[in-house]
Chains A and B, each alone.
Chain A
Amino acid sequence: MRLFTFAAPSRFYGLSGALLPWLWASALLLASAGLYVGFVLAPTDATQGEAYRIIYIHVPAAWMSMVLYLAMAGWAAVGWAWNVRLASMLARAIAPTGALFAFIALWTGALWGKPTWGTWWVWDARLTSQLILLFLYLGFMALVEAIDDPKRSDQAGALLAVIGAINVPIIYFSVRWWNTLHQGASVSMTAAPKMASIMLTAMMVMTFAFWAYAFAVVFTRTRAIILEREQDADWVRTLVREEAVDA
């Protein structure tokens, strides 16, 4: 347990509070830079014109949604296995943000699809898997919300998240199989324009921007959860009293 002294909620509360302004600033700067490079500097695509630029949001969002799911499952598992409350709180805080990125990926996918292929939605493997990932996020959020007891909620969520994490590759594989079998969609998200290095740069910068944003939002949410869960602790009582005096 010595390893986890930094995982004391009070320590995390203080540390994250100090980091937050920096995270928000980074997110803003990186997003501006990324969008500038992607929407202004990067060249127009030969086949897809200007509309392709949406991938600078779509692809990083898709990556984030997948990575955040693994992070959520990982922290939830740590919280369950070693009884670290903060880890479970982090997992709960990650879920809505992960779901948001999944939704953004789907929505930007539709925005890309309409001018490029004429339809708002294509049932290609990646988009369909993205939709299922959104369902997995929603399921997690629904389950932890439905359980009142905090410990049961954390543990049930952890089990569900781990089952989901194991199933994601299986689901992705089966959806790809389904997609190739049915020969329906000749269009695919993987038919992205050839990557000039500047395009890659734009995507990387946007990814970092999304990371900074994710950290900022998840930390903010975690702080709120900490205050709620630890409301009986002395340090929280002191904090609340101080804030009330300041107000």
Chain B
Amino acid sequence: MGSILNAEGLACRRGMRRLFREVKFEVSPGEVVWIKGSNGRGKSSLLRLLAGIVAPDEGEVRLATGASCAFIGHANALKDDLSALENLRFMAGLRGLSVSQQDVLAALQTLGLAGREGSPVRTFSQGQRRRVALARLALEASPGLWILDEPFDALDTTGTAVLGKMLSGHVAQGGCVVLTSHLELSLVVPDLAPVREWVLGATS
């Protein structure tokens, strides 16, 4: 089976500093790729390049035709003034997914937020906001590529376990995940397998 995402020759600069160059990266269905590298190496920049937010200065990123790609970055992309339900409906609408009220409520329930769908996100804690952001993933149509930047941030043990189960389920259905995490995944989500580690090394 071919790869879902294929990138080569990627380079990235921040200001005048070059973060990395000649980066080659590939993800196939059923894989979980854990991008590692010390702080400031450009892990978040790489994820943004792979997600297509920024066009690469050099090289190219190819997403397999028909494959969907969902990105969740550091920021939760939630509006404080809207309720959890309204936020998720907006995201689904934006991505052209037709979801019913039931789907959204079910997604929130998976993330342990049942009963809070009507409250404005302003009233949620950091961890709860993260859960709302992650609930998006349960609404995605076919199992595609998930690109997640520090998804376990702000989550408590229950939240972490739920996310781990979501990732395992997604991968089992043929989806794939690219993520960064400063947590040691083998300790935090031991049931998640297989995890391929990929290190973002130094430049020339």
Residues of chain B contacted by A149 (CB below 8 angstroms): 14-15
- CB of A151 within 8 A of CB of B57, answer yes
Is B13 part of the contact surface with A, judged by Cβ < 8 Å? yes
- CB of A151 within 8 A of CB of B13, answer yes
Is A150 part of the contact surface with B, judged by Cβ < 8 Å? yes
Is B202 part of the contact surface with A, judged by Cβ < 8 Å? no
> Who on chain A is nearest to B15 by CB?
A149
| C-alpha gap A150/B18 in the complex (Å) | 12
**What DSSP secondary structure best describes chain A's contact surface?**
loop
**What DSSP secondary structure best describes chain B's contact surface?**
loop
CB distance from B18 to the nearest CB of A (A): 8
B14, B16, B57: the one contacting A232 at CB < 8 Å is B16
| C-alpha gap A232/B203 in the complex (Å) | 14
Q: How big is chain B's contact interface, by range?
A: under 10
In the complex, per-residue mask of A220-234: 1 if CB is within 8 Å of any chain B CB, else 0: 000000000101100
Residues of chain B contacted by A151 (CB below 8 angstroms): 13, 57
In the complex, per-residue mask of A143-171: 1 if CB is within 8 Å of any chain B CB, else 0: 00000111100000000000000000000
Residues of chain A contacted by B15 (CB below 8 angstroms): 148-150
Best-buried of B14, B16, B57 by chain A (most CB within 10 Å): B16
- CB of A150 within 8 A of CB of B57, answer no
CB distance from A144 to the nearest CB of B (A): 15
> Who on chain A is nearest to B14 by CB?
A149
**Which of chain A's residues 193-247 have a Cβ closer than 8 Å to chain B?**
229, 231-232
| C-alpha gap A149/B15 in the complex (Å) | 5
Subset of 10 A-B contacts with CB under 8 Å: A148-B15, A149-B14, A149-B15, A150-B15, A150-B16, A151-B13, A151-B57, A229-B16, A231-B16, A232-B16
Report the 3 A-B pairs with minimum CB-CB distance, sorted nearest first: A149-B15, A148-B15, A150-B16
User: CB within 8 Å of B: which residues of A?
Assistant: 148-151, 229, 231-232
Assuming A149-B14, A229-B16, what are 8 further A-B pairs, CB within 8 angstroms? Answer: A148-B15, A149-B15, A150-B15, A150-B16, A151-B13, A151-B57, A231-B16, A232-B16
